[in-house]
Amino acid sequence: MQINRLFEIVYILLHKKTTTAKELAERFEVSVRTIYRDIEILSSAGIPVYTSQGKGGGISLLDEYVLNKSVLSEEEQNEILFALQSLTVTQNPETNRVLSKLSSLFHKSKTNWIEVDLSPWGSDEKKKRKFTILKNAILNQQMIAFTYFNSSGEKSIRKIAPIKLKFKGQAWYLQGFCLTKNEYRTFKISRMSHIEITQELFTESLSEGLSVEKNEQSSQKWMNVHVKIAPQGAYRVYDEFDENEITRHPDGSFTVVTSLPESKWLFHYILSFGDDMEVLAPQEVREAIKDKLHKMIRKYKNGQGIT
């Protein structure tokens, strides 16, 4: 990538003092003309790089030039290093090289204060490999094929151009262009299986249409739900609800008024709290929960289990 090459050229010039366009072209496996275009870009950005002719000539920086003082503020340096440190999750060798070199240029020794892991806590190696496959497909712009179960449990085989990994609502999603549906879609990664990278490549232009994506939630209806949560359920309250939705009571219990999707998921979510949560409103949700609990009780009363 050009931005990485530009940083490396500055790094080389700071340490080697003088080099030639031919040497740089061979190093980066590009043409001499490309190197001269890079030099023009650096010059227009205010970096004092110049060329000299004759014996001992070449490409150089002014002797008094120091990158970390002349171009970027302390805050800007930290922001760049933070962004690169976050990107190391992609395991792209170029990211690590640029991070190392910029850390040296900026005289920063502490760059390991943040770590990003795309996999959920407690994930086994199989789940972690899934993220590695998706990451490689996105970076290499390769199509993928996989089996997918939608929110209704319907199974389908999909083929997509993967564009972006996205974390939202405590779950990871993959956004891309679905060739099966011929439109942009968002897929919940936990519902994807048998993921395979194909040999087919897709172009950068596909990424431009992502803003008009259509996902499974596009027509989702929402409802206001009023619940009471017992003190022993406190560990989930501030993880899953906004502070302005929560009221804490002297006995340690909570009431929460929030907006939740009107779907089958809602009932499973409420029941996941066990007896730590009680629905106060709306009444139809309260009645539906009571009906589901009665059905569960009947199963355990009438069922034989395994002997």
**Mean pLDDT across the chain, nearest whole number?**
79
Question: Would you say 152 and 213 are in contact if contact means Cβ atoms under 8 Å apart?
Answer: no
The tens digit of pLDDT for each residue in 237-256 reads 988 888 899 999 999 999 99
Q: CATH 3.30.70 in the chain: give the residue spans.
A: 222-302
Instruction: For residues 156 and 139, give the distance between their C-alpha atoms in angstroms, rounded to a whole number.
Output: 25
The tens digit of pLDDT for each residue in 93-148 reads 555 666 666 666 565 655 555 555 655 555 567 777 888 888 889 888 899 999 99
What angle (nearest 5°) sits at the alpha carbon of residue 112, between those of residues 99 and 70? 45
**222-302 CATH fold:** Alpha-Beta Plaits (3.30.70)
Is residue 171 predicted with pLDDT exceeding 80? no
CATH code that applies to domain 125-212: 2.30.30.520
What angle (nearest 5°) sits at the alpha carbon of residue 12, between those of residues 6 and 13? 90
3-state helix, strand, coil in the chain (%, to 5): 45, 25, 30
The CATH number of 2-105 is which of 3.40.50.300, 1.10.443.10, 1.10.287.110, 1.10.10.10?
A: 1.10.10.10
Specify the 3-state DSSP secondary structure of 127.
helix
**Any bridge partners for residue 99, and if so which?**
none
pTM reported for the whole predicted model: 0.49
State the pLDDT at residue 216: 47
**Any bridge partners for residue 256, and if so which?**
227, 246
State the pLDDT at residue 215: 47
Q: CATH 1.10.10.10 in the chain: give the residue spans.
A: 2-105
Is residue 272 predicted with pLDDT exceeding 70? yes
Instruction: For residues 130 and 167, give the distance between their C-alpha atoms in angstroms, rounded to a whole number.
Output: 15
